[in-house]
């Protein structure tokens, strides 16, 4: 009798726990669904506005507006009436060069801090970590006057130089990944006569593919999306990046916003699709790089 009562009580507790879990899970899913809708609404609005027929007719209740034909409408205006291709080329040049230099700097600095031991190692790591916490725009005025003194204002080289100069401050995630790699492989190579440089290029780099992809993506996206610094030093329309060019497109004149907002959304759609495709194609390695670098 007592055994039956205990079994019944246990089943009641189990059912009560399951019901509470179901309610909690339902609430969590409802919150996530609301957040998902809020997150996707701006993207839907951007796409809808990019395909709208005209910029000044308000909300148009059409499933497939005329602008969906990429040869005309907003996308046609984007490529024919603006310098979008020039802006895109400038952005691609700056982002690619900065990405290559930044990735190389981060990999070498991270490997040095992870594998080598010297007196100022920990003080340098701490100082660089603290400096990396400050927003880059805090030094913008000083950087502006330095570039002005060097005669580098209004040049793409200045953008590449500035974006790459502070690359080493972002060493910590990459260093954490290198710390997880077994030292026995490198020690075996050194015993066979390999130098530290050979070990780095022949052994460590092939094993670090996830963190390299992560570093490449983060190094590429920063100059690609930057607006504040570009707006500070670039005045030549032929040297605008995409972010600055699209901003000027809707702020050049009094009525530019109403006339060109749909073209602005078309340009943002093109840029957003390219970045999304890049991230989706390398998502696997990106996640591996983040989780691997966070182990320590």
Please check the confidence at residue 71 and state whether its pLDDT lies above 50.
no
Give mean pLDDT, residues 229-258.
83
CB contact set of 53 (below 8 Å; sequence gap of 6+) = 60, 62, 65, 66, 67, 73
Q: Which two tokens stand for residue 73?
A: 């409408």
Residue 90's pLDDT band, with cuts at 50, 70 and 90, is very high
> Is there a contact between 31 and 250 (Cβ–Cβ < 8 Å)?
no
Chain centroid to Cα 149, Å, comes to 31
Task: Identify the band that residue 165 occupies on the pLDDT scale cut at 50, 70 and 90.
Answer: confident
Q: Is 226 left (phi over 0), alpha (psi -120 to 50) or beta?
A: beta
Higher-confidence residue of 137 and 119: namely 119
Position of tokens 């605008």? 240
Please give the mean pLDDT across all residues of the chain: 78
What letter does residue 67 receive in the DSSP assignment? G
Question: What does the alpha-carbon distance between residue 77 and residue 263 come to, in Å, rounded to a whole number?
Answer: 7
Residue tagged 């200045």 (tokens): 158
Tens of pLDDT, residues 261-294: 888 888 888 888 888 888 777 766 655 555 554 4
DSSP 8-state code for residue 82:
S
Query: What are residue 236's phi and psi, to 5 degrees?
Result: -80, 120
Length of the chain: 296
* Cα distance between residue 249 and residue 292, in whole Å: 42
For residue range 5-54, list pLDDT tens digits in order. 455 665 666 666 677 777 778 888 889 999 988 988 888 888 888 887 65
Cα–Cα distance, 291 to 283 (Å, whole number): 12
Q: How many CA atoms lie within 13 A of 158 on its CB side?
A: 24
For the whole model, what pTM was predicted? 0.77
| Exposure of 241 in the CB half-sphere (CA atoms within 13 A) | 28
């Amino acid at each position: 009798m007592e055994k039956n009562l205990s079994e019944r009580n246990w089943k009641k507790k189990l059912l009560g726990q399951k019901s509470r879990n179901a309610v909690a899970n339902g609430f969590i899913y409802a919150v996530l669904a609301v957040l998902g809708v809020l997150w996707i609404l701006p993207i839907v609005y951007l796409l809808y506005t990019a395909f709208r027929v005209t910029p000044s007719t308000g909300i148009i209740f059409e499933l497939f507006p005329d602008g969906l034909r990429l040869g005309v409408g907003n996308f046609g205006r984007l490529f024919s009436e603006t310098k979008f291709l020039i802006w895109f080329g400038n952005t691609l040049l700056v982002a690619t060069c900065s990405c290559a230099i930044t990735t190389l700097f981060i990999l070498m600095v991270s490997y040095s801090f992870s594998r080598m031991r010297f007196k100022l190692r920990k003080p340098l790591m701490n100082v660089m970590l603290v400096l990396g916490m400050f927003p880059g725009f805090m030094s913008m005025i000083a950087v502006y006057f330095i570039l002005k003194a060097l005669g580098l204002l209004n040049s793409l080289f200045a953008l590449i130089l500035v974006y790459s100069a502070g690359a080493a401050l972002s060493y910590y995630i990459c260093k954490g990944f290198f710390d997880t790699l077994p030292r026995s492989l490198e020690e075996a190579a050194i015993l066979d006569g390999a130098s530290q440089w050979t070990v780095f290029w022949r052994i460590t780099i092939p094993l670090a593919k996830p963190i390299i992809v992560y570093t490449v993506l983060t190094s590429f996206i920063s100059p690609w999306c930057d607006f504040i610094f570009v707006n500070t030093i670039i005045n030549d329309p032929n040297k605008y990046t995409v972010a600055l060019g699209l901003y000027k497109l809707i702020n050049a004149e009094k009525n530019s916003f109403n006339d060109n907002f749909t073209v602005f959304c078309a340009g943002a759609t093109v840029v957003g699709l390219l970045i999304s495709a890049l991230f989706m194609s390398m998502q696997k390695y990106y996640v591996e790089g983040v989780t691997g670098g966070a182990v320590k």
